[in-house]
Structure 1
Amino acid sequence: MQKIRSLVPRSLSAAPGLGFVVSPNAILDPGSQADLEAVTSLARSFFRTERCFLTLTREFAKRLLGSQWRRAQIPAWANEEGIEEELCLDTRADAATPFFFKQAGSSRPEFFARTALIGASGARLGSICIADDTAKEDFTSREKEALRNFAGLTVQIIEQRLGAYERMRAADEALRTANRVRMLLEATTDCVFVLGADWVFTFINKSAIEMIAQGRDLIGSNFWDSFPTVLGSEVEEHYRRAIRDSVAVSFEAFYPGAAALFEVNIQPSGDGLAVFFRNITEQRAIRMELQRIEARYRLATLAAVDGIWDWDHATGQTYFSARWQEIVGLPPVEIVADISHWLDRLHPNDLLSARDIYNALNPQITSEFTREYRIRHENGDWRWILSRGTVVRDPSGRSLRTVGSNRDITHERSRDPLSSLHNRGSLLEELERRIEDTAGDGKTFALLLFDIDGFQQVNDRFGEGHGDLVLIEIAARLESTVKDVRHSLVARVSGDEFAVVLGGVTEVEDAITYAQCLHTMLAEIPCDKELLSISISIGIAMGDEGHEDPGKLLENAGIAMHQAKNMGADATLVFGAQMRRERLKRVQLEADLRHAIARQQLVLHYQSKVCLDTGKVMGYEALVRWMHPVRGMIPPMEFIPYAEECGLIIAIGEWTLHEALRQLMEWRTSGFVTPDVTIAVNLSTRQFNDVALADKVANALSLQQAPASCLTLEVTESAMIGDLAHAKNVLDGLRAIGISLDLDDFGTGYSSLSYLHRLPFQALKIDRSFTRHLEQSHESRAIARSILQLGKSLNLAVIAEGIENEAQRVWLVRLGCRLGQGFLYSKPLSAAALKIAGLDDVRSA
């Protein structure tokens, strides 16, 4: 058998008639035993145990209960002396009526005490036992005596049934025992009172009179009349639930009259309630202090790098560890100061974070928070801090204190994790300092912003891992250029975009000279055992141009960089006021373009593709136009590049595809074109790289109920640069749908001729730049002839673009070209204009 826990006093286990064993759990209800139940319920409430039960010997069980008796084996743990007691009357905290054992349980409680029931004749009637799943740290001599008194009361009740004389003696002894119990209840420091069925006080001890009733003896008074403030509160519901459901209820409540926190236990007793108040104010204070110590001990493990703080909400006083002080540049000693010692150091732009911390004290908000903000160092610098905190609350949810840690994350917050250069945020902070500190000594600074031309091709060809290595190498070379230049730094702004703050310059030529050095220094970068030829586009903004906002300075450098990129590879531009005006114009254009589709401002114009021998229309190419409400018709060259950059080209391309198919099917239905006439739509680079391209094309054909054979998609060589294997997969997916593919602007891009035969194109289009000079340029004729011969050898049709006069048509026919398009036949026209024109060389026969 398992021994008792060591915290139980040895003297108790050795006491006569007492022992500590495990409680049973299998029970059977044979009927009501109200008088014995009252004893066990009162004893259970008095000793605050989960269970009190009685065991009887077979002889007295039969005499006492008669036919109600059921044979039941008492478990070994409850009968270590081997006495033949077979009946067990049991009450539990969750039961309103007595129970009898049906089968012994197998688990042990942490606490068990018993004493024998000895009749007047000296015969053993059985035992009275108390048990609880929580071990008691002490079982006082007064409690031992009380258990014996309850045993005596139980014996008297039993012997009342054995005869009148026994009943008289039992009643007398019960009275004496009740008096002793009353004396015990009066002597306890706990507040105890008993309420009858009509909520009237039938008993109240001295402690309750002094602490709860504030000196009033409430015997005979109504509970609700005596304590009207309880009505409508959560406490009222506790009392009513105990009487309504006949269950024990426990809760904690602060009682203002006694200025104390009580643990309240309400126990059903007969048709009323027994209520016990225990003052736990001191225990709670001890527990809170232990929690405080535990929290600080837990946080102390972080103290090597983190500063610890502990804020008492009631007093506003805050403990700051030595490391906390050190982080802000103060002597590294522990202090206790007002919370303003911390909050007054917050950066003005980060005060919202402080408000967030206050909001965390709201019971409806989570009690844990993490914030990043800047705090002023003693040297005047701003340090980035990561603050973590936990709000400690009382049972009602009221905030008591907040414990947390502060970590200096200035370095992590200001550095790019890949290159270890300064990041964008750190760059802006440095620019802000430089703008404020620029001296009037003729010295200024320059901001150079650049990115790598076509860097995506590096990632596509070698993979992002190698692309990262290229960026790291560029970062190292950049840092080497400014390590000896005061007031200079290098930052990685985003992706392949870098910035250099160049200090000590006196004029813009200094910055231009430095930019030229960058072009040379970054011209070749090793990558996967190859030397990559790198070109960069650089924008320069000078710090002495009246900038007050670092973000504006960075934006100006960006404007210059983008215009440099438009000039071609390895270009450098210095920002000027005209650039900003162009930039604003472009921003407005982009904003208008975002609404163009929804407002039905985009329209399609159609240019015919004809047979050069007969002039018969073989198909149409759909070309998008923008009818701006203010600027009028805007040609594609003015807005398509912007649409490509900002991503709107995907939506524009999808609209164009659907509208072109819709128009073609309308023409076919009306008889305007014959069923063999096709429609061609241009694909942008972004569309070509859209992983859902094939699905979108198939969906458009389905929605417009158009056969796949009626659609031709035109793809430029530039859209396939970098990964021809990927391009082949995309083209094969499109061909699988059943559409045709044309290679547009052939001869102007960079496709490998050796790979062209593996791509599933049906036609090549001779760019208009070659067609334009056929009459004057031998070279143009030679290129056109080569394209036509290549097409013939690969079994590809060849279509000439930009045919503007009859001489060009003649040359093309002479060279072997049979298909073409251009102003000679028709300029791009709207659908309505095509019908109005009614020209024979436009209308299909």
Structure 2
Amino acid sequence: MNITNKLRNIIIILLIFAILNLGLIYQKINEMIDDERIINISGMVRGGAQRLIKKELMGSSTNKEIIVEIEEKIQGLIHGSPTLKIPKPKDRTFINDMKVVEQSWIKLKSAIEIFKQDSQQKDILIEASENFWMAADKATLTSQKLAESQVKSLKLLQGLLFGVNLLILGVISFQSYQISLNILAREQAEKGKEISEARFRGIVDNAEDAIISIDQNHRIILFNQGAEKIFGYDVQEVLGKPMNILLAQHLAQVHTGHIEQFSHSEVQAQVMTKRPRVFGCRKDGSEFPAEVSIAKLKINDEVIYTAILRDVTERLRMQEKLEYDASHDSLTNLPNREIFMNCLERAISQTKRNKEYLFALLFLDLDDFKNINDSLGHLAGDELLVTFAHRLQILLRAGDTLARLGGDEFTILLEPIKDIEDALKVAERIHAQLLAPFILNNQEVFINTSIGITLSKDKYNKPEEILRDADTAMYRSKKLGKGGCMIFDEQMHHLAVNRLQLETELRKALERQEFRLYYQPIFSLTTNKILGFEALIRWQHPQKGFISPSKFIPLAEETGLIIPIGLWVLEEACRQLSIWHQKFPHQNSLTASVNISSRQIRDSTIIEEIDRIIRETNIPAQSLKQELTESILMENMTIATNFLKELRLRDIDVCLDDFGTGYSSLSYLHLFPVNVLKIDQSFVSQIQPNDEKIAIIRSIVNLAHDLDMDIIAEGIETKYQLEKLKELGCEKGQGYLFSKPLEAQALEALLIGN
């Protein structure tokens, strides 16, 4: 091979090498453009999440499009996306960073769902959002480092290509071609660099966060538009100035120390704070809390620090509001149950350390507060609660704690006190405050409260225990008379435990078929003939034996169990009456009287159930009598009147039981569709020889006759009472003189004999 051929081969090899380098330059330019697109989309992911969290904390409805957009971009940054024009990333560090972003995003979505269901779980949402932002910042910094690396690679390739071009110029004669090739490569490289810088500048300037770079002397060399908005400086005012002008003066030295410490470490990127410990200083001198992430880049032995800083003033304000709302009642602004229980726990701990330390707990419940809501509306009820809370606050000392547990329940922690007298004096002042009326809807309203008091004792280890006992004392006070005050004692606790046990057993009694129905016959006082019977429930407990209705009926009323129990009594009585109608056709006028409670009357299905039972047992509707007391009628006149009218439309008799012992309802009696009056046994028992207190009975009998009502006397026990009642014109009666309540088989024998 001659020298010419050797030169030609060298030229060809160099040309191929030059062309390959030119191709690499084009590739690097494209990779730089891709990197800038990655940086841009990374920032969009972070910005989208920031908007989403802001909406959640402000209580706005979540935009599902934001969530879809974020997830699409995250997947594109990990796996590549033709739609977003993102190639599959090759750098493992960036891919790993984005996978951390993806995991943080999944946890953030879960935290959003938890926050939607329970607004008190704000800490979970805040922590998840902070972790996500940290991960997103780290991935963004990594992508920026990749972009810087591409610039360095491009410069290296340019230098290499330039050397090759010079070599080619030395061995070949077609200089013009090589110069053109070299110029073209340089133009493309410069154009790519200009595009990269323009895109990077656009990303930096359009970021909402402040992006600031400083040199190794801590002087500012980059200050984006976000920084201008946050700090109030124009970029020309800060370039070349020391970083400390942007920091709160009392913390500037601390922050500078952090930077110095960071500069000596091998770590290239670091999130300086998880919680906002940095305080920035605006141009006007005002300070603000901030979160900051910082990265260190080393280029040609020159160290540059780039920080991303976020003003978290609004987030902290919202966080403080969330924390306040989570610990305070939204209506009265008083501490809520959670805060009060913490105070109570601290007081109990104090008594453990100091045996001489005493405190008292007052549990307050407004009497008949439901009537306010029902009559004046819930807005008036809320106004009453706010005013009541204010009246309580002015009575207490600075160290006492007043809280609203919910509804119309309030608690007061008095600490320290000398003895129980201090608590009683506070209770007296509370009742005195309530002597003054409340003005609601331009009218005066009076209301009182029942108070339960518990004194600190060694036996209390948990706040729930002392709160339970104060609550028990309050209900005991309410039961004995509204507007009272009661100090807890152990007997109350035993009663409460027994009541809970009785309630549990009562719920099981119906399904275990422990109830029995007894029947007390009702006689004609003139013919001595059995006209019907009153159905009376009895509870035969398998261990405790017979339990009086006076013990379990009030409990059934309170718990609502009276509704299924009452339906069982009605159905059983009607079923038995149907049997006796078939067995004794000559006594087909026999009636069944069944008591009904106020809870049953308020049940929307009661009339439907009565119709069903009459239909299924196939008894005449007029053979059924429903008994109710005066108090039931007066509790809710509208509901009671509508119910009684429905009964009368079905020819069902309505008996007013225990007449004369309840409200003064004589003036209202003609308003109700009642057709039977029952004289209470407390009046009948007063009919005694030489002590005839029969004026009330005479009045009741005359009233019934004037209103064309039947009259039945209860509790007839002597012949003397029987004769006097007959003289007064009473037609029907029941009592032990005739028969005590009997089981079905015994009453059936009595019917045969009668």
> What secondary structure does 2:618 align onto?
coil
1:458/1:467 contact within 8 Å kept:
yes
Equivalent position amino acid for 2:662 in 1: G
Match of 1:27 in 2: none
CA pair 299-453 structure 1, distance change in 2 beyond 3 A: closer
Q: Which residues of 2 match residues 62-141 of structure 1 at below 5 A? A: none
Structure 1: how far apart are the matches of 2:628 and 2:43? Answer: 75
Pick which of 726-735 and 595-604 moved more.
726-735
Among candidates 115, 127, 136, match of residue 370 of structure 1:
115
Q: Which residues of 2 match residues 18-37 of structure 1 at below 5 A? A: none
Match of 2:523 in 1: 610
**Is structure 2 residue 402 aligned with structure 1 residue 648?**
no
Determine which structure has more spread, i.e. the larger CA radius of gyration. 1
> What secondary structure does 1:715 align onto?
strand
User: Normalized per residue, which structure has more helix?
Assistant: 2
Per-residue deviation, residues 314-337 of structure 1 (Å, max 9, x unmatched):
xxxxxxxxxxxxxxxxxxxxxxxx
CA pair 368-420 structure 1, distance change in 2 beyond 3 A: closer
Match of 1:784 in 2: 697
Q: Which residues of 2 match residues 466-505 of structure 1 at below 5 A? A: 466-482=380-396, 485-505=397-417
Per-residue deviation, residues 728-764 of structure 1 (Å, max 9, x unmatched):
1222123223311111111122253222101001111
Equivalent position amino acid for 1:499 in 2: T
Equivalent position amino acid for 1:537 in 2: S
2:395/2:426 contact within 8 Å kept:
no
2:534/2:593 contact within 8 Å kept:
yes
Match of 1:71 in 2: none
RMSD of aligned Cα (Å): 4.1
Structure 2: how far apart are the matches of 1:667 and 1:301? Answer: 71
Among candidates 427, 447, 458, match of residue 515 of structure 1:
427
Match of 1:811 in 2: 724
> What secondary structure does 1:661 align onto?
helix
Structure 1: how far apart are the matches of 2:359 and 2:600? Answer: 42
Match of 1:289 in 2: 43
Per-residue deviation, residues 623-677 of structure 1 (Å, max 9, x unmatched):
1111111101111101111111122111111111111111111221222872111
Structure 2: how far apart are the matches of 1:686 and 1:461? Answer: 19
2:358/2:417 contact within 8 Å kept:
yes
Q: Which residues of 2 match residues 152-163 of structure 1 at below 5 A? A: none
**Is structure 2 residue 427 aligned with structure 1 residue 427?**
no
1:617/1:844 contact within 8 Å kept:
no
**Is structure 2 residue 575 aligned with structure 1 residue 662?**
yes
Structure 2: how far apart are the matches of 1:362 and 1:305? Answer: 20
Structure 1: how far apart are the matches of 2:376 and 2:521? Answer: 42
1:470/1:525 contact within 8 Å kept:
no
Match of 1:630 in 2: 543
1:360/1:368 contact within 8 Å kept:
no
1:461/1:722 contact within 8 Å kept:
no
**Is structure 2 residue 529 aligned with structure 1 residue 577?**
no
CA pair 737-459 structure 1, distance change in 2 beyond 3 A: farther
Structure 1: how far apart are the matches of 2:35 and 2:676? Answer: 91
Equivalent position amino acid for 2:648 in 1: R
CA pair 486-385 structure 1, distance change in 2 beyond 3 A: farther
Equivalent position amino acid for 2:406 in 1: S
**Is structure 2 residue 612 aligned with structure 1 residue 699?**
yes
**Is structure 2 residue 354 aligned with structure 1 residue 440?**
yes
CA pair 517-297 structure 1, distance change in 2 beyond 3 A: closer
Per-residue deviation, residues 41-95 of structure 1 (Å, max 9, x unmatched):
xxxxxxxxxxxxxxxxxxxxxxxxxxxxxxxxxxxxxxxxxxxxxxxxxxxxxxx
Equivalent position amino acid for 2:536 in 1: L
Match of 2:206 in 1: none
1:771 Cα deviation from its structure 2 partner? 1.3
1:777 Cα deviation from its structure 2 partner? 9.0
Structure 2: how far apart are the matches of 1:798 and 1:844? Answer: 25
> What secondary structure does 2:415 align onto?
strand
Match of 1:598 in 2: 511
1:446 Cα deviation from its structure 2 partner? 1.0
1:443/1:504 contact within 8 Å kept:
yes
**Is structure 2 residue 518 aligned with structure 1 residue 764?**
no
1:459 Cα deviation from its structure 2 partner? 3.7
> What secondary structure does 1:666 align onto?
helix
Q: Which structure 1 segments of 5+ residues have no match?
A: 1-183, 191-205, 212-260, 263-277, 307-356, 376-382, 394-398
**Is structure 2 residue 364 aligned with structure 1 residue 450?**
yes
Structure 1: how far apart are the matches of 2:406 and 2:112? Answer: 36
Structure 2: how far apart are the matches of 1:479 and 1:697? Answer: 51
> What secondary structure does 1:481 align onto?
coil
CA pair 692-302 structure 1, distance change in 2 beyond 3 A: closer
1:817 Cα deviation from its structure 2 partner? 1.0
User: Normalized per residue, which structure has more strand?
Assistant: 1
Structure 2: how far apart are the matches of 1:474 and 1:777? Answer: 56
CA pair 633-294 structure 1, distance change in 2 beyond 3 A: closer
Among candidates 711, 721, 740, match of residue 827 of structure 1:
740
Among candidates 571, 584, 603, match of residue 690 of structure 1:
603
Per-residue deviation, residues 261-318 of structure 1 (Å, max 9, x unmatched):
99xxxxxxxxxxxxxxx99676445412332245447767999999xxxxxxxxxxxx
Equivalent position amino acid for 2:416 in 1: G
Equivalent position amino acid for 2:632 in 1: A
Q: Which structure 2 segments of 5+ residues have no match?
A: 1-18, 61-101, 133-137, 141-273, 275-309
> What secondary structure does 2:479 align onto?
helix
Among candidates 475, 479, 486, match of residue 566 of structure 1:
479
Q: Which residues of 2 match residues 309-348 of structure 1 at below 5 A? A: none
1:385/1:407 contact within 8 Å kept:
no
Q: Which residues of 2 match residues 193-208 of structure 1 at below 5 A? A: none
Per-residue deviation, residues 10-35 of structure 1 (Å, max 9, x unmatched):
xxxxxxxxxxxxxxxxxxxxxxxxxx
Q: TM-score, structure 1 length as denominator?
A: 0.54
Equivalent position amino acid for 1:508 in 2: I
2:42/2:139 contact within 8 Å kept:
no
Structure 2: how far apart are the matches of 1:300 and 1:362? Answer: 17
Among candidates 361, 374, 384, match of residue 106 of structure 2:
361
Structure 2: how far apart are the matches of 1:755 and 1:290? Answer: 75
Per-residue deviation, residues 525-582 of structure 1 (Å, max 9, x unmatched):
3355655454433211112343111111111111112222232233322111222122
Equivalent position amino acid for 1:486 in 2: A
CA pair 779-539 structure 1, distance change in 2 beyond 3 A: farther
CA pair 507-521 structure 1, distance change in 2 beyond 3 A: same
2:120/2:326 contact within 8 Å kept:
no
2:107/2:128 contact within 8 Å kept:
no
Structure 2: how far apart are the matches of 1:302 and 1:627? Answer: 58
Q: TM-score, structure 2 length as denominator?
A: 0.61
Match of 2:706 in 1: 793
1:187 Cα deviation from its structure 2 partner? 9.6
1:186 Cα deviation from its structure 2 partner? 14
CA pair 442-665 structure 1, distance change in 2 beyond 3 A: same
CA pair 501-844 structure 1, distance change in 2 beyond 3 A: farther
Equivalent position amino acid for 1:417 in 2: S
2:108/2:128 contact within 8 Å kept:
no
Structure 2: how far apart are the matches of 1:597 and 1:704? Answer: 20
